[in-house]
Structures are given as structure tokens and as C-alpha cells.
Amino acid sequence: MRRIVVSLLKGGVAKSVTAVHLAHGLALAGYRILLVDTDVQSQCSDMLGVRPERGLAEVINGWAEPFEALLKARDNLWLLAGGTALAGVKREISRRDLAPEAVLAETVRTYEGHFDVLILDTAPGWDALLVNALYCSREILSPVSMEPMALTGLLRFEERLEVLQKYNPDLKLKWVLPTFVDGRVKKSAEIMVQLDAHYGDRLAPPIKYSVKLSEGPAFGKTIFEHDPKGPGAEGYQQLVERVLRDAPPASVVRPMAARTEAPAVGPQEPAPPLAAAAEASLSLRGKTLESLKERLTLAQEPPTEAVQARAVPAPAVPSADSTGLRIKGRPYEKLRERLTKYGRT
């Protein structure tokens, strides 16, 4: 499972927009996608037009099973939502003594093998959840708006990234994505020149400024649904193709439509993976408890009369004169000490 984190130390650069559209674009290509929102604002839910009852906070706190907390937002696209409850999760992570940076990695490990790509949306601030998201990921996509402060945020992000790469050497800044690019504004051209000079091949095709991109969330639609032929959809489709083209060799997978195994078909929407296994586990657990209760009932101590009726007299203990007697190689004196200790003499 590929793990891509969308992150930058700057707000308002279209991180959530990029995470949602990259996830939906890959899902439309036939890949199974898990979108994890690690932000308290929970903007991924709004952009997809869904209202999850459970999310990432409930899974980390143990209040919900990992697959029960998933919400199927689109075909091939599942969402593990963020929300205000993540504020408490940040505090709990900070208080952990052992491996606080690995909390999210332990959580998403449950989904390994059930999805093709994991995409994490992050908050703009450097906090415990962002460190966790970077620690459990391997590829970074950093959207950069056409503003000088966004460039400053990118440079600061790279500085802090160097520290994390010591502990996660597989983590790489793979793509820098220019957003809100407007050819009518001179500043956009100047920043694009700087980005191209500094990042070269890592610079992804730009996302042009589009009113439709900002309108979509109001209708709970992505740009592929709201304006599929507009410049916004075209830009994010190019990003999807670039991400697929740059996939590490070990993580290259075919879309579901090209696989030999047939997807599950039924009158209802397929449940998230392992849901049936979880129900079977609960059923088996119930049977085990019933069996254990029967065994405990049979093993209960019988009435006192029954114990007296079947009581067997204790074996006679040899006299103390048998000093040379040996039982199973042990001298009689040692046996007498053990019998005395347990009140048998």
C-alpha cells in the first residue's frame, strides 16, 4: 500500500482540496483508496458531502473498530474522517512515553493489504499528528500557492523534514504542486520560475485558479463531478497521472478493472474489508464464552455430602525408623519434611 501525505507548514494552499481530488482521481482510475483526515477542521468530509459518525479519533482511542469507522464516500474511495475530537488525541499522543510518533503508523497498519493507496490530509501546523503522519508515510506532496509566504513555509517544512528523515529514511518530498496559478498575475510567473529552478523534476503540473474548485465543496462534489471538463479537473487529472507514473516499483499495482479476481457483487454496497471477518470473530467469541460457562458449571465443587461419600483415606506414612528408605531416589527424611510442611503427618 502506497502512503502519500499531503502537507505544508502553511494554511490556505489547497492541501485538503488536493488530498480529496487526488484520492477521487485515483479511485476513478480503479484503485482502492483510503483517505485519512488528520485535521480537526474535517474539511475532507465537507468536500465529499458526507457526515461520518466516527473517524480517526475514535479508532485511535479504541472507541470504534478500524473498519467500522470507515465511510465509503465514493466508489473505490473510503474516508477515515477527522474532527474536533482529534484535539484530545494530540494531547494523549504527547503524553505517551513510548514511541508517540508511531501512534498513527500502528493505526493504519490495520488497513495494510486492503487498499492500494493511503492518502493523508494534514493540518498546517507542526503538531503531534503531523509528525505521526510524516512518520508513517513514504511520499510527500506539498501544494504551494503563488505567494511568497507559501515559499517560506515550504523551506521551513524541508528543514524540519530533514530531522524526521533520520528516523524514516524512506520518506521523500516527491512532488511540489503549484496551486492557484493565474497567468494574469505577474507574481505567479515569478514564483513558478523560482520553483522550477529549485525543485526541477519534482515540480508537478500546476493547478490553475478556478472558481469551480471553490464552488464544489458547497455542493459536496469534487471537481470531477462539478466541472469535469474545466481547467481544475484537467489539472488534477494530470496530477493523478504523474503520481501513478512516479510510483515506486514495489508499490505498482493494477487498477481493479484490470485484475483477474472479480470484485464482490451483491444487492448492497460492499462493506469495508474485514467487516464480515469481524462479525465472524464476534460470533466465535460468543460460542467460546458459552463453552467456557458450561465447563465452569461442570467443574463447580459438589455438595459436602458427596465429597464425604467419596473421600479416600490418606495413605499411611512410614515410620520414622525407616531412615534408609528411598522413594524415587529421594531420602525418606526429605519426604518426611515435605509431608510435615503440607500437614500430612
Which CATH number covers residue 33? 3.40.50.300
- Dihedral class, residue 189 (left if φ above 0, else alpha if ψ from -120 to 50, else beta): alpha
Query: Could you tell me which of 214, 255, 251, 256 has the C-alpha nearest to residue 232?
Result: 214
Q: Is the pLDDT of residue 133 over 50?
A: yes
Q: Averaged over 123-145, what is the pLDDT?
A: 93
Amino acid found at 219: F
- Do 190 and 331 fall into the same domain? no
- Do 200 and 328 fall into the same domain? no
Q: Is residue 100 part of a domain?
A: yes
Higher pLDDT, 335 or 79: 79
- Do 248 and 323 fall into the same domain? no
Q: Is residue 277 part of a domain?
A: no
Say what the pLDDT of residue 14 is: 94
Q: Averaged over 81-101, what is the pLDDT?
A: 87
- Do 234 and 329 fall into the same domain? no
Q: Is residue 151 part of a domain?
A: yes
- Work out the angle at residue 319's Cα, subtended by the Cα atoms of residues 313 and 321, and round it to the nearest 5 degrees: 170
- Do 248 and 326 fall into the same domain? no
Q: Is residue 341 part of a domain?
A: yes
Boundary (domain end) residue, out of 231, 253, 275 = 253
- Do 331 and 198 fall into the same domain? no
Mean pLDDT of the chain: 80
- Do 324 and 175 fall into the same domain? no
Q: Is the pLDDT of residue 313 over 60?
A: no
Q: Are 31 and 114 in contact (CB under 8 A)?
A: no
The strand pair at 139-145 and 2-6 is best described as parallel
- Do 216 and 336 fall into the same domain? no
CA 160 to chain CA centroid, nearest Å: 23
- Do 179 and 92 fall into the same domain? yes
Q: Is residue 115 part of a domain?
A: yes
Question: In what order do the strands lie in the sheet containing 117-121?
Answer: 71-74, 77-80, 33-37, 117-121, 2-6, 139-145, 172-179
Higher pLDDT, 321 or 217: 217
**pLDDT tens-digit profile of 259-291?**
544 333 333 344 344 444 444 444 434 444 454
229: containing domain: 2-253
Q: Is the pLDDT of residue 322 over 60?
A: no
- Work out the angle at residue 21's Cα, subtended by the Cα atoms of residues 222 and 218, and round it to the nearest 5 degrees: 30
- Do 51 and 149 fall into the same domain? yes
Q: Is residue 42 part of a domain?
A: yes
First to last CA, the chain: 69
Going by pLDDT thresholds of 50, 70 and 90, the confidence category of residue 95 is confident
CA atoms within 13 A on the CB side of 295: 6
Higher pLDDT, 301 or 210: 210
Say what the pLDDT of residue 335 is: 57
Q: Averaged over 96-119, what is the pLDDT?
A: 91
Boundary (domain end) residue, out of 253, 272, 296 = 253
Q: Is residue 280 part of a domain?
A: no
CA 223 to chain CA centroid, nearest Å: 26
Q: Is residue 281 part of a domain?
A: no
Say what the pLDDT of residue 277 is: 40
- Do 198 and 322 fall into the same domain? no
pTM above 0.95, yes or no: no
Boundary (domain end) residue, out of 253, 272, 293 = 253
**pLDDT tens-digit profile of 213-232?**
999 999 999 999 999 999 99
The residues with which 177 forms a beta bridge, in sequence order, are 143
At a CB cut-off of 8 Å and minimum separation 6, what does 147 contact? Answer: 187, 191
When divided into structural domains, the chain yields a total of 2
**pLDDT tens-digit profile of 78-88?**
999 999 999 98
Grid cell 506532496 in the structure block, residue: 141
Say what the pLDDT of residue 297 is: 46
Q: Averaged over 287-296, what is the pLDDT?
A: 46
Going by pLDDT thresholds of 50, 70 and 90, the confidence category of residue 56 is very high
- Do 236 and 147 fall into the same domain? yes
User: Worst-scoring range by mean pLDDT, 76-90, 194-208, 250-264?
Assistant: 250-264
Which run of H or of E encompasses 157?
helix 148-165
